Amino acid sequence: MLKRILPNWFVGVVATLVLLANTLIWGTVVLLFGIVKLVLPLKPISNALHFGYYQWCRGNALGLRIGCGKIHVEVDGQVSKQGWYLLMANHLSWLDIVVLSAVDVLPAPKFFLKDELKYVPFIGSGAWALGMPFMKRATKAQIAKNPKLKGLDVERTKASCKAFRDYPTTIINFVEGTRFTARKHSQQNSPFRHLLKPKAGGVAFALEVLASQLDGILNTTLIYDTPDQHICRSFMQGRLNGVRVAIAQRTMDSVPVGNYQLDKEYRVQFQHYVNSLWQEKDAFIEAQNAVLVNKMPAVHKELEQL
């Protein structure tokens, strides 16, 4: 590995450039095919789009293999690359997206995005081309003024998710809604030692839209072995030693499903369910903190083998 024979700073620069070039090249390819798809909405064009997206994921795996010591992926349960899942993860860094996209045991990752992100170059344009849903949810105040808006966001998102049926998909949801920092943790007065408070509403919305298509929930925990709290900076400096990705599958029959916005009893029930997952995740992180990631055995498989 480059990290063993070259200076850390050089490895970090090379790995960062690989990730940037990967996004620039394949983001452009996906966007161009997306424009072609507007004129020729044919299956081969969609297949080409998803091939480009798959190459972006593989390019991310290459960048991580260069810049990171070890990435261990372990799965508790049965996960099929031909399935459909909702993945709930803690959020530590923008590198989280790169790591999860490079996990080859999962179907292609997709995201529910805020409507404003559709105008962001490469990120928004690529997501638009791939048919990822942009959420524009109506507030309670807006619904009170215009009752016709009730349920419109769900129906609109359901329509935009139709393409998910054609391609195995992992919908990724960072349940905390923002990246973890010590400052945010303190401001929230979070009851968890290593996590921010989970926001159950976004997960409930995704379930309301996609529950009938999903094969399970993937409660996923990311742990970085780094000497610096700034994970991205550690990666760019070549000082990120390893990453652990622990995936615990939950079957759909164990997940409460209902109308989160209108059913108060269900809302309390679902918040309790999400909090219980976060308690498990917090305990897992606490148990692993004393062990360096780069000394752990690879339970499933390492990206080095890809």
How many CA atoms, within 13 angstroms, populate the side-chain half-sphere of residue 83? Answer: 18
- The Cα–Cα gap between 188 and 197 comes to 7
List pLDDT tens digits, range 220-248.
Answer: 999 998 887 789 999 999 999 889 999 99
What is the percent of the chain with per-residue pLDDT over 90, rounded to a whole number? 45
* Structure-token match 């994970």, residue found: 231
Which residues have a Cβ under 8 Å from the Cβ of 116 and sit 6 or more positions away?
Answer: none
Residue 2: is its pLDDT beyond 80?
no
- What pLDDT score was predicted for residue 140? 65
Q: How crowded is residue 125: how many other Cβ atoms within 10 Å of its Cβ?
A: 18
Which domains are delineated in the chain?
69-305 (3.40.1130)
pTM: 0.84
- The Cα–Cα gap between 65 and 58 comes to 10
List pLDDT tens digits, range 134-188.
Answer: 766 666 666 667 666 566 666 666 666 666 777 888 988 889 988 999 999 999 9
